[in-house]
Structure 1
């Protein structure tokens, strides 16, 4: 029986070596076709934020325990949850046993978990496999396009496989390397007199690069800058976007390093220019947040309003920086 306003989506699930690990069949509902009383009344799909995943990786590395991965064979994205979950993150499940703890993070049908005691992980796996159809994937190594290398010295996070896929998709496999993601003398504007380019291709390139920023904060600013012109891209814009690919060509192995046994201190930094955009005189601000020596969150955005002084610029984004710190603090309190 098929659900009204839905379709089947079939795809292969690959590991970091592009080897097919299993086949996926998903029944996806078209939300815009649903009618109350006919289709779904309510659906729930647990999706963790990427900074939460990075926070868990950093915390596991500092606490000295390994993370593992399980995959749900049959996922139903609706129903009631009676168990207590994280206060801030509804995709986080925690169980404490005296001085030991197990952390479980959910992303739709993928589960990553780790514990300070091996027996807690064994009990969790047995309980889940006894209740649901699940497969144990072993130690966490590939999750949401992120390659994870766990060792006794720390955890390394990168997107080497995804980066190579971008080169192939946009026919940049044999491009020359660039030393920086953006030329120091480059200034981007609407370029009204410039030659128009294919919007679909440009938007696809920017979308791919935006997901690559999940482990590459060094390209965050320039990718967000190029994303401002996705509505009417010109030749100068796609040239700037391709320079990012040339920079990535020589830095495909770059990623994030989360050292083990580092002191757990939450630190945040923010900075802004003043009226940096010559088109509307708005300022661009950036933040980054570290857990000890591990970078777990970063942000780059043009402010929504025009500030009248440098102090006003700083106050606007310091507020945003502090809000993120408070959110991360509450997440750590759950841990």
Structure 2
């Protein structure tokens, strides 16, 4: 027997019922009612909006790796934590480690952007994982143990304006000395996508690292812009919040010079969009930079503040 699930929605309940009848006439299927659970995602709908969480999945994950009785942690990674290929640390079971990383990545992709950075860092060591890397993953699980009730909120709104935050941790990867790009993208007040990624090349300055991160943020925002156009929603000038004035000035300068000629051509496309007025890089203080949570481990107070700003809130049943 093959079973497939279909999700459909419409603001008009009558159209929903009409579509359901058409599908039932064509296929053998049954209606499950209002969406509450789908592929490990739990959905809470209300007049204020929608909350998506994975409480059940998180508890099953803790049970699977025997961490349900572990002591909870308030952050997912200590601020002094630096992971490298520790040759003196004993090797561990690769299959188990990769299974833990894969399970955590599903959490980060759907409802838990707060653990995105730490999971991506641990994922870099899947080829030859060591005990020190396993301890870092267990720290993430202990953090999840204390925050299983968190979910991402999408508040009801008619505001479809796009907004991006980009940041970079210069040479944050102590193993290859590459920088880490972080970005988060909002539609109105709702976080719709996020990223934490090690850059493919070694940046020679903080300006270059931030510039590359801004280009990656621009790419995602342009994709969202094109998606909105399918619904006849057209966005003009899209702001990208950046905390590096040198990177902002570089994006506005159409002339290649000695300080920027070594940067790969593919990263300079953001200049074209700045010139066209499609996007605009705007300076923001580091204290207000939401993408900071995707580039480095943070102290508890700042981490909790940014987590709340991203829309991660306790679930209300």
Q: Distance in 2 between matches of 1:331 and 1:133?
A: 32
Alpha carbons 1:268, 1:321 under 8 Å: kept: yes
Once the two structures are superposed, what CA deviation does each residue of 1:206-233 show, in whole Å capped at 9, x if it has no partner? 1111101120000000000000011111
**Residue in structure 2 matched with residue 233 of structure 1 by the alignment:** 129
**Residue in structure 2 matched with residue 243 of structure 1 by the alignment:** 139
Q: CA RMSD in A?
A: 1.3
**Residue in structure 2 matched with residue 138 of structure 1 by the alignment:** 33
**Residue in structure 1 matched with residue 111 of structure 2 by the alignment:** 215
**Residue in structure 1 matched with residue 98 of structure 2 by the alignment:** 203
Once the two structures are superposed, what CA deviation does each residue of 1:270-328 show, in whole Å capped at 9, x if it has no partner? 11011112222110011111111111100001001111222222222222211111111
**Residue in structure 1 matched with residue 292 of structure 2 by the alignment:** none
Alpha carbons 2:82, 2:174 under 8 Å: kept: no
Match status 1:192 vs 2:84: no
Once the two structures are superposed, what CA deviation does each residue of 1:172-229 show, in whole Å capped at 9, x if it has no partner? 1111011110111111111011111111111111111110112000000000000001
Identify which of 300, 308, 322 aligns with 2:196.
300
The structural deviation recorded for 1:262 is 5.0
Q: Distance in 1 between matches of 2:59 and 2:165?
A: 32
Alpha carbons 1:262, 1:293 under 8 Å: kept: no
Q: Distance in 1 between matches of 2:199 and 2:30?
A: 45
Q: What pairs with 1:31-180 in structure 2 (closer than 5 Å)?
A: 73=3, 109-180=4-75
Q: Distance in 2 between matches of 1:228 and 1:330?
A: 32
Alpha carbons 1:269, 1:289 under 8 Å: kept: yes
Which has a greater percent of strand? 1
Normalising by structure 1, we get a TM-score of 0.67
Which has a greater percent of helix? 2
Alpha carbons 1:157, 1:255 under 8 Å: kept: yes
SS in 2 for 1:134: coil
Q: Distance in 2 between matches of 1:119 and 1:326?
A: 34
Identify which of 317, 322, 330 aligns with 2:213.
317
SS in 1 for 2:79: coil
Q: Distance in 1 between matches of 2:228 and 2:97?
A: 39
Q: Which has the higher contact order (CA 8 A, sep 6+)?
A: 2
Alpha carbons 2:157, 2:188 under 8 Å: kept: no
The structural deviation recorded for 1:258 is 1.0
Q: Which blocks of at least 5 consecutive residues in structure 2 are unaligned?
A: 232-317
The structural deviation recorded for 1:334 is 2.0
Q: Distance in 2 between matches of 1:144 and 1:296?
A: 19
The structural deviation recorded for 1:264 is 2.0
Q: Distance in 1 between matches of 2:103 and 2:50?
A: 24
Identify which of 266, 278, 281 aligns with 2:174.
278
The structural deviation recorded for 1:153 is 1.1
Normalising by structure 2, we get a TM-score of 0.70
The structural deviation recorded for 1:261 is 2.6
